[in-house]
């Protein structure tokens, strides 16, 4: 049974998610973060939000689970700014699903 939604990253960026009922997992170093991320991916959560900064540290681990249907890994900006990785991740997912870049093609329609 899924516990719902988890959020992992630095404490400052994720603590507000607890107020809307998400389970938060603050991490302060990469080693502990990888262990926590792997535990979250064992099927208990349908969605795991990961701050972009932390995702950069565990990119290899995210790649290992990104092909699975569950959990959905969604990158979010942290309090220290947006790196653009979240948007790039959505772009790649859409491109894979439909076969072309329909979101950010840059073209205009008449």
CATH of the domain at 46: 3.40.50.10580
Kindly state the helix (H) or strand (E) to which residue 34 belongs, with its residue range. Answer: helix 30-40
Domain that holds residue 55: 5-98
Q: How far apart are the first and last CA of the chain?
A: 48
Specify if 77 maps to a domain: yes
pLDDT for res 11: 95
Specify if 103 maps to a domain: no
Specify if 92 maps to a domain: yes
| Cβ neighbours around 22 below 10 Å, total | 19
Render 55-88 in DSSP notation, one character per residue.
Answer: HHHSHHHHHHHTTSSSSEEEEE-BTTB--SHHHH
pLDDT for res 110: 43
pLDDT, averaged in runs of 10, over the chain (110 residues): 85 94 95 95 90 92 86 86 58 56 53
Specify if 108 maps to a domain: no
65, 73 Cβ separation under 8 angstroms? yes
Total tally of structural domains belonging to the chain: 1
């Amino acid at each position: 049974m899924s516990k719902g939604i988890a959020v992992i990253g630095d404490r400052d960026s994720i603590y507000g998610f607890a107020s809307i009922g998400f389970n938060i997992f603050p991490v302060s170093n990469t080693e502990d973060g990888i262990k926590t991320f792997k535990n979250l991916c064992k099927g208990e959560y349908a969605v795991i939000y990961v701050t972009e900064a932390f995702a950069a540290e565990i990119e290899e681990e995210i790649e290992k689970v990104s092909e699975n249907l569950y959990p959905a890994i969604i990158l979010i900006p942290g309090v220290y700014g947006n790196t653009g990785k979240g948007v790039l991740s959505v772009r790649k997912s859409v491109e894979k699903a439909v076969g072309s870049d329909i979101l950010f093609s840059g073209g205009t329609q008449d």
